[in-house]
Structure 1
Amino acid sequence: MPRARLARFARFARFARFARFARSARSARPTHPAHPARPVHLARLAPPTGLLALLTAAGSLVPGDATAAWPPPPSATAADMADPANWPSDPGYGYSDDSDGQWNYYSFLPTPNGSVMPRPEETASGMSIDLAWRHTTGDPRVRIAITDSGIQWDEEDLIEQVWLNHRELASHKPRTANDGPCGGTDDLAGFDCNGDGKLTVSDYRDTPSLTPPEAEGRPRGDRNANGFLDAGDLILHFSDGIDDDQNGYTDDIAGWDFFKDDNDPYDDTRYGHGTSEARHSVAQADNGVGTAGACPDCRFIPMRVGDSFITDASDFAQAVVYATDNGARVVQCALGTINNNSLTQKALDYAYDKGVLVITSMADESSRHHNLPTTSNHTLPVHAIRYDGPSVTSSTTFLDFHPCSNYGGQNFLSASGTGCSSEATGQLSGIAGLLYAAALKQDLPLSPGEAQGLLFITADDINAPESREDGAQYAWSQPGFDQRFGYGRVNANRAVEAVLAERIPPAVDITYPLWFQVLYDDRVDGPVPIRATVSARRATSYDYTVEWAPGVQPLEDAFTAFAQATNVPSTVVSGAEDGILATLELRTVRFDAEEARDPDSPFGENDSAITVRVRAVAHYGGDIGDVPGEMRRTYYLTRDPTLVKGFPIQLGASAEGSPRLADLDGDGVRDLVYATSDGKVEAFRITTAGPQPLPGFPFRTALIDGFADPPPTPTTPSYLAAPAYQSGAVLPDIGREAIVNTPAIDDLDGDGAPEIVISTWPGTVYVIGNDGALAPGWPRRLPEVPSCPLGVGAPPVSTCMSTASRIARGAFASPVLVDLDGDGALDIVQAAFDGNVYAFRATGEDLPGFPVALHYTGPHADAPARNRILTTPAVGDFNDDGIPDLLVGSNEQLGNDGAAGAVYLLDGRGNGAPEGPILPGWPVTLGSLQLFPLVAEGVPNSGAIARFNGTLAAVAHGQASTPLVLPANPGPQPSLTDLPERSLPLRPDGARGLAPASDFGPASTAYRPNSFLPLFAQPSLGDIDQDGTPDIVASGGSLSLAALVQSGARIPGDHHLLAAWSGRTGAMLPGLPVVLEDYTFFNNHAIADLTGDDYPEILTGSGGYFLRAFDGCGREAPGFPKFTGQWITSTPALGDLDGDGLLEVTVGTRDGWLYAWHTQAPTDTIIAWESYHHDNRNTGNLDTPLSQGATRTAATPLTAEMCVVPTPTIPSPLRAAGGCACTLPGHADPRPARPPVLLALATLTAFAARTARARSRRPTR
């Protein structure tokens, strides 16, 4: 059956299911019979069938009596909406042969071009926003706070949409052209100069005091010289240093910039993502400009939390608090935070309690990994669906899974759009604005729980029987909830009509266990509490049921109830008294091991998953009848006897960095050190009773800017007067500088005891003693980097952020300990976001010759915009002067398309080197695609150093480029991405460099033909094949992954791979690459022999929940993989933590859990790369001596003949260690792939281009 028929069935199923609801909204008859004993289960409703159900649920497709007008009258039908006379005048709204228009708003199908016909079952291409506009186009009182990259003030379609804080402008009211007072009543008294009943920028248009005066191409008051009078001009004109409204934010005239901590949320690098988000949700409609926002009469609060959609959690959290305190009803979060912390969760809780709905993105990597803050409590996640053809007029379905969107148990809703989950977030935020506007009409204030419940029960279910057939090329869907589509496609019209009919569902909230928490039934003391609440404050009474089922997307008949209540009075909030709604006895949870595996989890990712669901039904009686609602969570239930007692430890914040194992207390046994995004450095001694904190720990970093009293600099604002902080609802003391990298540990002061060195994301370096106390002379705060000033006559600033200088204060690179001045004491090297490499003495003073600024001025590309450094420097003496040199990559993007970057060798003397700070022959440039801002542009992957057959060489790779092995003099490089002439190794065929990435090892089980492409992670080095020469380990993706994300089709191949090349021959090792479950972000790979055969394993984790351990044959060590149920970005660390002579392996997760497992490997086994960046000093140099492990080599180098060579095929499903298999009743085995297809390298380029378009700075059409 053709591909497009998939989604027609999906729409049909949901329309049919809700036919009764649609009829009741029109006829005022109860939808469901009253049933006080049990909730009504939506999936069990008996709907009408056939065309009648479709027409009933869709409204009516025959023309009504609407006249040509916008907004449409209440009598308009979908057929009327198809008439261009009823479209808003925005040029981007309507479709044509050349434009898809805003198809995702339509309640009708665009007329096909004749080459492809839509299936007759589908009746709408979009979310019926056009029909919702019959009832409301929003309300200026509904504010949508957009947390993103800030705003481009000159976006014409948004100038009148910005919320202006009239209380902050009370002393700066607009005036008429003759300098008279303006009109308005109540809050708008003196503000409404144009008489439209709203406060907008245009009210200031005639104000005589505005400067500069009108000039050609520039209106009066255009202070920022962009050709418009906009809110940015008002900020520049009226900022007077007085907090007029006393809300804790001085001069917050139009939002706030928490990234730079100032009152102008302008997007100073003009990245444009936040501007695009605002267009989706609130762009003006019917004004002849651009496109229409979903809620064009809502207002938006620009909240800058980063210079792209990748941000710091603390900046995001502060923006959520500001939005809540300043009247936002919706917070729009099309972003991913680099971290997660307690402040974020507290801010989200605060927003939820104050009635604010926070809408978050599932992220855009076609992956299951858990985007942050989406897996926090009190968020509403959404992803994207789209049409399947090249255009809307040549498509057969509009319910196609968007190939760039993520999926999983937390994926609640699908929103239509071609711009990935980012656009989906913007569209859903605008639709939520419509709900709140409709509620204002009814004087019916909505809680976040009620709002998201409305969106769930009114969504169009996506259920395509074809997707469950063998060989299907479509994402799995089923009746009701599934992990690819959630509860279905948002239906704006149906949701708005439910509000107007006052059919408000119960508010259901689950807060514990946490999302994706692993429950160990052999380690709990009793039943697991389910912390949740149920309320139905508008109904007469309500019922609820708490139930569980195996799998991430169980079918209805799989659920088992374990708690319920009926006829609960509406004045009672169930679960509120002690926070516990029910308890789950894990001994009653049983899996059927014979069931087939979840088809979207071919490696067993969800084998031990269970779903806990709370369903409720509110009893209204009368015309409203019963209204259902629900909430769910995914958990994992398993056993693992190798876990160290007391683990995993809940850290309370995310753990992006890696563990360190070092003897802090001098007892001869290593302790476990871990730094978190809560700004804590934890240190544990492992005892027979479990982990015990060492005295003086945890250490806590400084309060974030805005929370410190007094502020750390004269220009740093204080937010402590804001209501959330003043009231104690959000305690500022939890807002600490986040640590997202890995500490360095060694003795800095020569007293025999180690110090711990950390650096924070905001840019402060600390030295801590083994007693947890801050060392004298520390911390060191890196220099400020403000936004470059705007405005006519603005004073110049030497170091600032702009389009030409994408720098900031902060650090992602880990600190490195190395003696750079030859005095026998270790110094501290820190690469930073301002593009500098700093070096400090142990006592805190600057080391002479530093900082060194990196900026490309070579022959192969024009000088790029300055950019950050993310790489942790690797150290080695390349010029034989006795002083180690520094290998560093820069985020600067080279070439016309920005698809290259540069790596540098810095002289260890820095600027004091006679020939300058950069060694001759450097930098070396290499291909590196710009896949994401910040974390995947230029060369963000830290390099490594080792001796290859006696030659000291640097190893580095970019995004999707084969690693380079470069001696001190790499030789001439003919062009930007050519291999330098002296690259290593010299292969047996006479060629230089590593073998092509498509030449897999002969024993590899990875799908072929394919090519391996290093992505997002960092290389490690170690002698895997034991031939006496280090091998190069890298992880990433494949060309088939690129094609998958580009096309959305089910592409044959293994998409995530771990590879290693021989440092001697340049060929891939015999059994590599091996297949991983997901992307490997930020980490590199530990290397040690865990099996005692003298052939080391490579240990790595990914976003796919497992910690893996493979040798050069691709064989996994016994006891592996280790299951965490969460996203691993840290590098595992190895060491003996309990003094038994055997190694433990530890790793942290982004979900905030710290794991430690016992192994059978002795401490004298081969250990090549013990932890992140090789060693506790973070040197990244294989020659740096380790204090554990042996340096012996195996008797015989590893060869292909020594490996068992299976037939290359798609890998067999994997089992989590100690886990039980469980999937959904009736699910088939994973579907076979299509025949092999050779993919060109151009596919990857298209992948990068598509990703860039998804993050576009332009409107998504």
Structure 2
Amino acid sequence: DLDGDGDCEILYGSSDGKVYVMDHLGQELSGWPQSSKADLQGRYGFVVSPSVGDIDGDGALEIVCGTLAGHLYAWELDGSVISGFPQYVGRSAKSVCAVVDIDDADDAAEIIVHGGKSELWAMKGNGTALSGYPLELGGDEDEFDSWIFASSPIVLDLELDGSLQIAVGSTSGEVYVFNTDGSVVDGWPVATGDWVYSTVTPVDLDGDYEPEIVVASADGKVHAWNAAGEVVAGFPVTLDAPVYGSVAAADMTGDGANELVVASSSGAVYMINKDGNFMSGWPTSPSATTFASPIIIDVNNDGALDVVLGAQNSALQAWSRNGELILSQVHEAGDWIDGTAVASDIDKDGLVELVFGAYDGKVYVIDLDTPATDANLAWPAFRGDRVRGADAVSTDSDQDELPDAFEMAQFNGLEQSGADDFDLDGVSNANEWIAGTNAASASDFFSVQLSYLPGEPSASRRVRLTWNGVAGRCYTSWQCGQLDEGEEWELADPESGTIDCESTGEMSHEFDVSADDCFFRISVTR
């Protein structure tokens, strides 16, 4: 919703060298479309979708998009070009931009784009590059339009510790993860066997709500690594043909584990479980060449998630989670469908609309009977973007201190925030996430048992604290003599300090205390 009228706008770039903005009724907004300039070879078209974000900190959303000629444009909502743009990012700009505030210097978002000289750019809203950028990605450059498109950068919180990283694939066949200052994260880059057109997908594969990094490569493989850059067991998975689109992810079966959905360039669609095995009923038979990425929604309002994908047979098709073609949801266009569809409630009637474009120069909007809930829109767009207003951090799109994976698993949606208390047990959702307890169950909360160990009465005594530890958490014991305001808590056992939990199960901590110390607590960190 760019203009604040309550309805969504549709933005798209076209091969005619224009970016269009229209309302949900298909009417162009005033000031649009806007055109790009050609390079010396006469190239001027857009092959990727525009992005939106507040790049100047004025509280309004701006629109950014790059061209085949390597020019990055930024416009105000009225279509006026923002001062400092266009900026040249080298040979081509064939990635979707990430528009996220990564420098903490102000309230404005930065623009991050993969340029055609195999460089990662990050720039301010006035077109100036951030210090240290562009970053070298070590790949082949986009000479003579050799790139179909570029792996689009994503911004994520890889360790879920509040710090942001940028992940992107390269024509070097590698996947990079950078800190926002441009330094490379330990364990990265990692190598695949071929160029990476695919955009990185962060997804929880092992049930700890922390992201693994998934990407497909042009040699027809799907790869997965943990945050340290170590290969996930069962991967890579080999498909029948190169992959140019990106991987979608959602819990397709309702068992609490995410599945991966990806299409090879042959048009075969695969569903892969967390162990790297094909799900029953998958892959589908090859149909027609596709460069699009699948989305995952409930397309027919039957309570189960489905896969939606367009291809060069001029059809947008849908398959059930069992791999069966849903004949009632085959939508024909007048030409190839190479872009990724998007599902959203664009007219605010409470129901989902399916939006896609085709090479016939048309944008199609299909009304569905599906309620527009987060559960029904599990992966509704390219990169899985759920945020309707602006680009977002991939692992926490609503920036509420709770990972999206945690919210979807525990609450079946993103409506809750970290400050809320969903199960009304007196512990906030954020604290339950940190402690590793079930935020949807009032009977599951972090508790500590205190025991005084037998011994002769003396000036000191020995106590034992016992609790259920959760893997990946750290526990620190504290003590004090009174609970008066201003009373300072001290480490109960300075020698042992913080205790790390390697595997979930009962934990205990024994230590000697002064007879005057009678209050104890344990703090938990991730």
What TM-score results when the alignment is normalised by the length of structure 2? 0.54
Closer, same or farther: CA 813–778 of 1 in aligned 2, 3 Å: same
Check the 8 A contact 2:316/2:331 in 1, yes or no: no
Give 2:100's aligned amino acid.
A
Match of 1:838 among 211, 223, 242: 223
Change (3 A) 1:514 1:869: closer
Is 1:701 aligned to residue 137 of structure 2?
yes
Amino acid at match of 1:959: Q
- Of residues 1060, 1068, 1078, the one that matches 2:365 is 1060
Instruction: Indicate the RMSD between aligned Cα atoms, in angstroms.
Output: 4.1
Give the structure 2 partner of residue 653 of structure 1.
91
Report how far residue 960 of structure 1 moved. 2.4
2:251 to 877, 891, 901: 877
How far apart are residue 670 of structure 1 and its match?
2.2
CA distance in 1, matches of 2:414, 2:341: 19
Letter in 2 for 1:815: V
Pick closer, same or farther for the CA change 1:995–1:969 going to 2, 3 Å.
closer
Q: 1:676 aligns with which of 110, 115, 132?
A: 115
The counterpart of 2:293, out of the listed 915, 930, 942, is 942
2:442 is the counterpart of 1:1032: no
Letter of the structure 2 residue corresponding to residue 655 of structure 1: A
| Mapping 1:210-225, distance limit 5 Å | none
Query: Is residue 658–residue 1133 contact of structure 1 (8 Å, CA) maintained in 2?
Result: no
Q: Does the CA-based 8 Å contact 1:1019-1:1034 persist in structure 2?
A: yes
CA distance in 1, matches of 2:163, 2:320: 36
Q: Could you tell me how far apart the structure 2 residues matched to 1:683 and 1:823 are? A: 31
Alpha-carbon shift at residue 875 of structure 1 (Å): 0.6
Q: Write the distance in 2 (CA, Å) between the matches of 1:1178 and 1:850.
A: 25
Which protein has the bigger strand share?
Answer: 2
Q: Give how far 1:1030 is off.
A: 2.1
The answer for unaligned runs of 5 or more in structure 1 is 1-366, 371-408, 411-511, 519-638, 706-736, 784-808, 856-866, 893-900, 911-916, 929-936, 972-979, 984-991, 998-1010, 1038-1054, 1066-1085, 1088-1130, 1135-1165, 1189-1261
Residue 1168 of structure 1 aligns to a residue whose secondary structure is: coil
Q: Does 1:1017 align with 2:339?
A: yes
Superposed counterparts of 1:607-756, under 5 Å: 642-666=80-104, 667-686=106-125, 690-702=126-138, 740-756=150-166
2:174 aligns with one of 764, 773, 779: 764
Note the C-alpha offset of 1:746: 0.7
- Structure-2 change in CA distance of 1:944 and 1:703 (3 Å): closer
Identity of aligned residues (%): 25
Match of 1:909 among 270, 275, 279: 275
**Bigger Rg, which one:** 1
CA shift for structure 1 position 886: 0.8
Alignment of 1:278-297 (within 5 A): none
1:823 equivalenced with 2:211 (yes/no):
no
| 2:82 partner letter | V
Whole-angstrom distance in 2 between the partners of 1:884 and 1:767: 22
Q: Secondary structure in 2 aligned to 1:925? A: coil
Query: Are the aligned partners of 2:178 and 2:185 in contact in 1 as well (CA < 8 Å)?
Result: yes
8 Å CA contact 2:310–2:339 kept in 1: the answer is no
Matches within 5 A, 1:1-150: none
Show the counterpart of 1:851.
236
Which amino acid letter does the alignment assign opposite residue 963 of structure 1? L
Could you give the per-residue CA deviations for residues 624-644 of structure 1, whole angstroms, max 9, x where no partner exists? xxxxxxxxxxxxxxx986222
Q: SS where residue 697 of structure 1 aligns?
A: coil
Call closer, same or farther: CA 1:668–1:967 in 2, change over 3 Å. farther
1: CA distance between counterparts of 2:364 and 2:208? 40
CA distance in 2, matches of 1:515, 1:660: 27
**Where does residue 308 of structure 1 map in the other structure?**
none
Partner residue of 1:965? 318
Partner of 1:77: none
User: Within 2, Cα distance between the matches of 1:909 and 1:1184?
Assistant: 25
Tell me the secondary structure at the aligned position of residue 880 of structure 1. Answer: coil
The C-alpha deviation readout for 1:580-619, integer Å capped at 9, x for no partner, is xxxxxxxxxxxxxxxxxxxxxxxxxxxxxxxxxxxxxxxx
AA matched with 2:352: P
Question: In 2 relative to 1, CA 1028–830 (structure 1 residues): closer, same or farther, beyond 3 Å?
Answer: same
Quick one: structure 1 residues 969 and 843, their matched pair in 2 at CA, closer, same or farther if it must change by over 3 Å? same
Determine helix, strand or coil for the equivalent of 1:993.
helix
Please give the per-residue CA displacement for 1:909-942, whole angstroms capped at 9, x wherever unaligned: 21xxxxxx111122223642xxxxxxxx3x3321
Residue identity matched to 2:365: A
Matched with 1:952 is 305
CA–CA distance in structure 1, aligned partners of residues 416 and 174 of structure 2: 29
1:672–1:653 CA distance, 2 compared to 1 (3 A): same
- 2:329 aligned with 1:994, yes or no? yes
Contact 2:139/2:170, CA 8 A, preserved across alignment:
no
Q: Is the 8 A contact 1:946 1:954 kept in 2?
A: yes
Alpha-carbon distance between aligned partners in 1 of 2:246 and 2:396, rounded to the nearest angstrom: 8
Question: Which amino acid is the alignment partner of residue 176 of structure 2?
Answer: Y
The answer as to whether partners of 2:97 and 2:113 remain within 8 angstroms in 1 is: yes
Matches within 5 A, 1:418-433: none
Q: Is the 8 A contact 1:874 1:944 kept in 2?
A: yes
**Cα distance in structure 2, aligned partners of 1:738 and 1:921:** 30
Matched, 1:779 2:189: yes
Q: Which has the higher helix share?
A: 1
2:139 and 2:172 in contact (8 A); partners too:
no
User: SS of the residue aligned with 2:172?
Assistant: coil
Partner amino acid for 2:162?
Answer: G
CA contact (8 A) 2:297 2:307 kept: yes
Change (3 A) 1:1018 1:824: closer
Q: Is contact 1:664–1:753 with CA below 8 Å preserved after alignment?
A: no
Displacement after TM superposition at 1:693 (Å): 2.5
Structure with larger RCO (C-alpha < 8 A, sep 6+)? 1
The question of whether the paired residues in 2 share the 8 Å contact of 1:660 and 1:1176 is answered with no
Q: Are the counterparts in 2 of residues 1023 and 1030 from structure 1 also a CA contact under 8 Å?
A: yes
Moved over 6 A (4+): 367-370, 1131-1134, 1178-1184
Residue 925 of structure 1: aligned partner: 285
Report how many residues are paired: 328
What TM-score do the two structures reach when normalised by structure 1? 0.24
Give the SS at the match of 1:875. strand
CA contact (8 A) 2:100 2:393 kept: no
Letter in 2 for 1:841: N
Residues 178, 184 of structure 2: 8 Å contact kept: yes
Change (3 A) 1:878 1:1132: closer
Matches within 5 A, 1:400-549: 515=42
Q: Take 2:344 and 2:256, find their aligned partners in 1: how far apart are those partners? A: 24
Distance change >3 Å, CA 1132–CA 774, structure 1 → 2? closer
CA contact (8 A) 1:658 1:674 kept: yes
In the alignment, what sits opposite 1:607? Answer: none
Task: Look up the equivalent residue of 2:343 and give its one-letter code.
Answer: L
How far apart are 1:684 and its partner, in Å? 1.8
Name the aligned partner's letter for residue 1168 of structure 1: R
In the TM superposition, residue 760 of structure 1 has moved relative to its aligned partner by 0.7
Q: 1:774 to 1:1030 in 2, by over 3 A?
A: same
